[in-house]
Every structure is written in C-alpha cells, then in structure tokens.
Chains A and B, each alone.
Chain A
Amino acid sequence: MQTTSLGTPTTSAIVFFLLIVVVALYITYWAAKRTRTAKQFYAAGRTVSGLQNGLALAGDYMSAASFLGIAGLVSLKGYDGMIYATGWLVGWPALMFLIAEPLRNLGKYTFADVVAFRLRQTPVRIAAAIGGVLTVLTYTIAQMVGAGDLIKLMFGIPYWAAVLIVGGVMLVYVLFGGMIATTWVQIVKAVLLLGGVTVLMLMALSQFGFSPGALYGAVAEKYGQTALEPGGLVTSSWDAVSLGLALMFGLLGLPHILMRFYTVPDAKAARKSVLYATGFIGYFYIIIPIVGFAASVLVGRDVITKVAKSGNMAAPLLAELLGGTPFLGFIAAVAFATILAVVSGLTLAGASSLSHDIYLNVVKHGSATEQQQVRVAKISTVIFGILAVLLGILFQGQNVAFMVGLTFAVACSANFPALLLSIVWKKFTTAGAVCSILVGAFLSILLIILSPTVWVDILKHKEAIFPMKNPAIISMTASFLVGWLASLVTHEGTAEAMFEDEKLRTYLGVGAES
C-alpha cells in the first residue's frame, strides 16, 4: 500500500502554499493603488479583457469541490462521475444566450441593478438582496466547510485554523484590492489549476502509453466493465430533469458569476468572456474524469477511501504517486488557491449586495459620495468575511452536501426568473418581481428541507415529504408563474414607459455603464 505524506505539512507543500499567499498579497499591493473608486472596487474599473474575464469566470466556477470531488467520484463510482461533470457545464451556453449581454448593458455592479432598472427601487432591491445574499451564503457555507476539511486533510492543520487562514488571507486581498485583486487572483488560480490538472493527466496517461483505451482497459480489468457504464446516479428521469434545470439556470442566478460581467468594457467583451470560460471549464471537465479513472487503477479504490471516505483525495494521492511529495505539495497548494479564490468572489458579491443594493439604493436612496460608497463596501466586506469564517466554524462536521443543491435551487428560482422577466417583458411590475423572488427563494428552501437530502439524510425521518432531491422544476416554475400573475393584476405605468429606454440599452448598449 502507498504510504502518503498527505496530512503532514511537508516542506514542498508549505513552500508552494506560502508562494501562493505571497503572490496573492503582491497582487493586492499592486491592485490597492488602483482601487480608489466604487467602480474600481466593485468592477475593476471595467477594464478587464474578454480573455482575462473568461479565465476569472472559470476560476470562480471551478471550485475545489469540482476538482477534487469529481475526480474522487469517478475514481470510486466510475462512469457516474462523468455524468455529474457534464451537468456542471451546461449552464454556460444558457448564460450566454439569455443573460450575458443584456446584463452587461443594463447593470452597474449587481444583478439587482437590472431587475430594478424600471421598477420601484426599495422593494425590488430588498427582495433581490434577500435572493442574492441567500445564494451567496449557502454557497459560502459549502465552500468553507469543504475548505476546512480539505486543508485539514492535506496540511494536517486543525479545522478552525484552516477556516481562519482562508478567511483571513481572502479578507485582506478583497478588502484592499477589491475586484482588481480578486480578478487577478482568480486568473492565477485558473491558470494554476488548468495547468496542474493537465500535467497530472499527462503523467497519468503516460503510464498507459498515452492511450485512453488502455486506461479504460485497466479500469475494466480491475473493477469490471460496470465501471465504464452508467450506474445508479441517474435513475428517476424527473429527478434528473429537475437537477439539470437547477444546474443550467442556477448559474444564471449566481451573484458572484453575474457580477463579473460588469468588469468588462462592453457587451462584446462579455460575449467573448463566456466563450473563453466555457472552453476552459469544458476542457477541465473533460480531463478530470481521466484523472479519476487513473487514480482508481494506479492508487486503488481501497487506498483512496482509506484516506478519505468521500474519495476527495483521489487526485492528490495520484499526484503523489506519480510526482512524489513535491508534486503533491503543488497540487495541495493549488487546491488551497482554488478555495481562496472562490470564497473571495463570493465575499465580494455578498458585500456588494449589502452595500450597493441595501445601503446605497435603499438607505441612501441612491445618493452617496464616492468615499462613502467605498467605505461602506469595505465595511460590508469585513462583515461578510467574518460571517464566512463564523459560519464555517459553526457548520464544522455537518453534512453540507445539500447546500450546493440549495444554492443552485435558490439561484434558479429566486434570482433568474426576475432577471429574465425584467429584461424581456414590458409589463413586468414591482409586485411581480418581489413576489417572484420571494416565492422562488422560500419555496426552494422549504422543498429542500422536506426533500430526501435533508428530511431523510440529516433529520433522519423515514420518508421524505417531497420526493425530489432538487426542487428546481417546481420552485422555478412557481416563481415564473407568480411573477407573471402578480404583474398581470398590478399595473405600473412608469415601468412600461421606461421600457423603451431599457430596450435601447439592452440591445444597442446606448447609455450602458462605461
């Protein structure tokens, strides 16, 4: 059996780890000088290019859970892990076709800007902030708990210390470097992750004469042909359809992803960045299963589960086997950078919801000086960063697997319908937007609690009240219906009158923030 230095802080792991922290802090130092205005803090001054934003979007989306989790899933369950991987990509084309360009043209810093464009600011901003913050918080909890566990496993430091390190480093660079630092850390992380996994895949394939067929042959020989066939992951079509909807349209309601579109100069660059992001993420999800299959053959399922039952350590173990302790140190540090970058994107999105939507547009009715705006944005960042650390510690050892599903359910049910309707439908009203957001948010939370993932797995009841694992098909439909009905029974003359201005901006980009 392979002896592993996983869980002990080796020199190489510490060196790479410190290197990443130093690079992040250097970027922060460089970015801090360019972070004076609200536009720079929230949107990097709208100077990020399409390619840069594509990498940053990929960095925001390729979490440690998808890197380590999917490799682990493939190594233990074979083909089913691959089905899971495809689901994570399909939101990106939908984001491009339905939202990307109008979002860039209509908004300023948050997606609530778009929903509130023609509608009454106070109620819409509050509702959108509820949907936005809920999404960001649930995703943050999932990321922080995962971070604590992973860092504990890889570096052997205690859970609370791991959460504190992630929270602390992240807070420093978001606070001082704003969106500019966040974007560049995201880019560095994306390049490291794509590069690291590519090297790992090539080293793994070299063991099989660079022939995937030979790799699959070895998998089939060791674990039987069934490892290359679909197993139990997709059984009920309705469950699969509902999960697919959540994955596809949930992306279109993730505040930290949507926010990135305000960092590019125009709609054309927004379009380009999605093409790049889809390419990078797609490539990533195509090579990850190869790493997983190779780990199952070379490391072995018994060793993988011995180190971590979830299979999460399959990729690091493979890295150690093929490249020794230094390569393991590198991959572990990349995983750390991944967590750091994703949490920082989330923190910035959460903070902008509090400061831009609630403070500026509700409390201050849209008028505050540049200094006030930046100050409140920074205070919100600190609040959100501390909240992330506290939640991470609070949820230690809890089963948070449902949290990611909840994030995507709330995102596609609360944020996405109001966003789409506000772009395309002239008669959409304030009441429609508020009802659609609130019904989507609370219905998806309620149904997740009653679903097998919480009601049976966590609350230990015998049978779930709501049969589906992900409620998207019900909650998203309900949100659209309620938004439509509430708009039909209310009438908002000013909103209809402003639709011409909105169209001019949506389609021609006239008046878009520059």
Chain B
Amino acid sequence: MRSVHETLESHEFKSLVSRRWKISIGLTLALFVIYYGYIVLIALDKSFMAKKIGVVTTLGIPLGVAVIVFSWVLTAIYVSWGNSTYDPEVAVLKDQVTK
C-alpha cells in the first residue's frame, strides 16, 4: 500500500491531473474559438453573416445555432472522457489511498 504522499507523487496521479487540465484547457480554448469566432465575424464582417444560403435565410442563422450546438458537443466530449478514462483511473488511485 502506498501513503497519500506517495500516491500524489506517483506518475499515475500526476499524469491523470495533467491530462485532466490539458483536456479542460483545450476544450475551453475550443469554446473561445467557436464563440469569439462568431462574435468577431459579426463585428468585423457583417456582409459574411448576411450572405443568403436559402431564399432569404442568412448564413448567420445556422451559424448562431451551430455555436449553441457545438458548445453542447464540447461538454459531451468532456463527459465521455470523464466516464471512460478519468473515473476508472480515479477508482484505482482512490483504492490505493483508502485501503
């Protein structure tokens, strides 16, 4: 059995925490790109957003919906990583310190 200190200093724990933040920060950056990409496009190039994709429907309408949908997809990616990778590894590490 390992002590709390040993577990926290272990390669497994450090790698898990570092991967957790890499994924979090990566997804936060993706969120920034999606949302601010949309806002900055509106601020700088209104004509792009006003482009017609149907009879009257402008490109801005599906893009606005896409910002919302992709924001949700990012959260879903995080949850699926959490369930498939993070939780099982946590269970192993937790076992080491609580036994």
Q: Give me the interface of A with B, judged by CB distance under 8 Å.
A: 79, 82-83, 85-87, 89-90, 92-94, 96-98, 101, 212-213, 216-217, 219-220, 225, 228-230, 234-237, 240-241, 244, 248, 268, 271-272, 274-275, 278-279, 282, 285-286, 289, 424, 500, 503-504, 507-510
Contact = CB atoms under 8 A, between A and B. Distances in A.
26 contacts: A86-B67, A89-B71, A93-B31, A93-B71, A96-B79, A97-B25, A213-B55, A216-B54, A220-B56, A228-B58, A229-B46, A229-B60, A230-B60, A237-B40, A240-B43, A241-B36, A244-B36, A271-B82, A275-B72, A282-B69, A285-B68, A286-B65, A500-B4, A507-B20, A507-B90, A508-B90
Nearest to B48: A230
A234 B42 contact: yes
B27 to A, nearest CB: 5
A268 B87 contact: yes
B68 A286 contact: yes
Given A79-B58, A286-B65, A510 B38 contact: no
B84 interface: no
B1 to A, nearest CB: 14
B4 to A, nearest CB: 6
Nearest to B5: A500
Nearest to A503: B8
Nearest to A220: B56
Contact of A510 (B74, B75, B98): B98
**Chain A to chain B: the 7 pairs with minimum beta-carbon distance, closest first:** A229-B50, A220-B56, A97-B24, A237-B43, A282-B68, A234-B42, A82-B64
Contacts of B49: 229-230
Contact of B71 (A83, A90, A241): A90
A225 B56 contact: yes
B75 A92 contact: yes
A504 B4 contact: yes
Contact of A82 (B5, B21, B61): B61
Contacts of A82: 60-61, 64
B69 to A, nearest CB: 7
Given A500-B4, A500-B5, A507-B17, A275 B75 contact: yes
A289 to B, nearest CB: 8
B94 A509 contact: yes
A452 B14 CA distance: 48
Contacts, number: 152
Given A230-B49, A282-B69, A509-B90, A79 B60 contact: yes
Nearest to A243: B39
A423 to B, nearest CB: 10
Given A272-B79, A507-B20, A216 B56 contact: yes
Contacts of B38: 86
Contacts of B78: 93, 96-97, 271
B71 A282 contact: yes
Given A98-B28, A213-B54, A248 B35 contact: yes
Given A86-B35, A244-B39, A271 B79 contact: yes
B56 A228 contact: yes
A278 B50 contact: no
B74 A93 contact: yes
Contacts of A89: 67-68, 71
A97 B28 contact: yes
Nearest to B52: A225
Nearest to B90: A508
B87 A504 contact: no
A459 to B, nearest CB: 28
A86 B64 contact: yes
Contacts of B67: 86, 89-90
